[in-house]
Chains A and B, each alone.
Chain A
Amino acid sequence: MITFLVLTFALIFTYAFAGYMFNIHYGFTGLINLGIAGFFALGAYTTAILTTPRTETTFAGETYQVGFGVPVWVGIIAAALVASLVALIVGIIALRSVTGEHLAIMTLGFAEIIRFIAINESWLTRGPMGIMDIPRPFSNVWQGIPYILILLGVLLFIYFISERLRTSPLGRVLRGIRADDLAVESLGKNILYFRLVSFATGAAFGGLAGAFWAHFTGAIQPQDFSTTLTFLVASSVIVGGEGNNRGVMLGTATVIGLLYQAPRFLPKIGNPWTIPSARFIVIGILIVLILRFRREGLMPKQLVRIEQEES
């Protein structure tokens, strides 16, 4: 039971990190980034490659050296930086000409490119076998609870940064761009610059999500970063209320905790896959209901009222 709870909280927390990425991109700035799994994978692979002890593997008749054995914290910071940097490059290519639903398709493609790189560039990623023996800090202490507490700390930190960002002059411009990009541009703001800032900043959280997940499980494979991950994270944010930083937590707890993990306790119905598959149907129905009856999500966007001295 404790193992299950630890796993569930690890999922909720790391998916919430990625949720904050989607919230900054979509909730604040209106950029539909469906490449969540790609940034997650970038973070996971970056830290995995950096922190895993150097080992020799033979795959498809060739021998590779993978792993650099650097400290975990270095790997995690590098994961955030790499995700951010790649977002900047993708952003410079895409955001010049593409926003809206076209950006959604492009980022979806980007995530698939990352996944195929992970599958095919075996010299770097060990291909479909994935990387095992990733360091798992505190995994043997108190059944892994200390690591969950670290995740909670990081979650609060990311929440704090996101909330500061939302209420700052920068967040004001980003939210303005979401409301009407042409109006903001006509008022003298270089919207490409602000979109890039949003893209790169959010991606750092996506990278952190992947990195902390990799150090939790200790083993990653390309198939862990499929579109399902993107779907779960984006659903969580939309259910919680995009643009609302508390909504991200509530939405992730609802979708991941209640709908994705808790059904394990339901009595068996049909074959072993009935309930696990039905979960996605239930999440899908929830999304439809939210979009139809409560478009703003469980927690709608809050207005930012600027403090004024009484006059």
Chain B
Amino acid sequence: MSILEAKNVVKTFGALRAVDNFSLDLEEGSIVGLIGPNGAGKTTFFSTVMGIHKPDQGEIRLKGDRIEGLRPWQISRRGLVKTFQIPRALKNLTVLENMMIPPRNQAGENFVRAILRGKKVQEREKQVLNKALSLLQEGGLYDRRNDDTSELSVGQSKLLEVTRALMTDPDVLLLDEPTAGTTTEETKPIMEYIQRLNVEKNITFLVVEHKMGVIMNLCQERIVVLVNGQHFAEGTAKEIQGNEEVKEVYLGKGT
């Protein structure tokens, strides 16, 4: 069953067709790679699905419901979250506080309740805290829970980006370059983490990544190639690796 379905999505910026009639089906429980040269429209496509941009044309369905035109927070509540290429850890907040923002129905978000801090607020806060702590433990950021996010390394920021998204109980995660800028030692744990979440929490992933080693390993079943906003090729990791046209797009024509 497809959990995310984008059909003929078009997103233009002036004369530029950043996403040009692109369609993509995401099978529930899969990890799919989305690759393409710089400027191919990968990030724009992600932002359009997340509701940050409104598509000019096309249809996007999440679990069968149309989501195009909804605001990001509405889409997030329906179970789809995108992480950002440049980590957006919230500054001047601790790692733990970053984690505790997403959960819904927080009684303490009501002004009067926030001031009075009744039992209801305290109990909910405790639930949110415990959930955050256990996810931090699984994600390997537990030791940094009380630190300001500005003290994190790039790898840790990337890890927080994914772990924080888990606080929304997502069904689909769109990861925009989850290992960009990380050291070699940091890359592997992030990959394993994604695979673990896929198996244990049945989260569906769509991953944009420039590190070919990562993408070929993570998305062995299916990789989609995007060029100039259009669907260019598709196949298993092996097929894409052996595809001469894809190589050409990436490296230019061989002489």
Residues of A bordering B, CB below 8 Å:
161, 164-165, 168-173, 175-176, 178-180, 182-191, 194, 197, 201, 243, 301, 303-306, 308
Contacts and interface: CB of A to CB of B under 8 A. Distances in A.
A185 B82 CA distance: 11
Contacts of A169: 100, 106-109, 114, 121, 125, 128
Contacts of B168: 187-188
Given A179-B91, A306-B100, A308-B145, 5 more contacts: A169-B107, A169-B121, A187-B101, A191-B73, A301-B92
A304 B93 contact: yes
The 7 A-B pairs with the shortest beta carbon distances in the complex, nearest first, are A169-B108, A168-B114, A183-B88, A188-B76, A179-B90, A170-B114, A187-B102
Nearest to B50: A186
B72 A175 contact: no
Nearest to B101: A176
Contact of B114 (A171, A189, A301, A306): A171
A91 B4 CA distance: 35
A303 B129 CA distance: 16
B93 A175 contact: yes
B100 to A, nearest CB: 6
B98 to A, nearest CB: 8
B93 A168 contact: no
Interface centre among B71, B90, B168 (most CB of A within 10 A): B90
B104 interface: yes
B141 interface: no
* Majority secondary structure of chain A interface residues (helix, strand, loop or mixed): helix
B211 interface: no
A296 to B, nearest CB: 9
Contacts of B71: 185, 190
Interface string B36-74: 000000000000001010000000000000000001110
Nearest to A304: B97
B110 A186 contact: no
Interface residues of B, number: 44
Interface of B: 50, 52, 71-73, 76-77, 81-82, 84, 88, 90-94, 96-98, 100-102, 104, 106-111, 114-115, 117, 121, 125, 128-129, 133, 145-146, 148, 164-165, 167-168
27 contacts: A164-B117, A165-B114, A168-B114, A169-B100, A169-B121, A172-B93, A172-B97, A175-B97, A176-B93, A176-B97, A176-B98, A178-B92, A180-B88, A182-B52, A182-B88, A186-B73, A186-B76, A187-B73, A187-B76, A187-B81, A188-B76, A188-B77, A189-B73, A201-B111, A303-B93, A304-B93, A308-B145
Interface centre among B72, B82, B114 (most CB of A within 10 A): B114
Contacts of B84: 183, 186
B115 A188 contact: no
Nearest to A296: B92
A182 B71 CA distance: 11
A184 B164 CA distance: 11
Nearest to A194: B109
Contact of A175 (B88, B92, B108): B92
A20 to B, nearest CB: 14
A169 B128 CA distance: 10
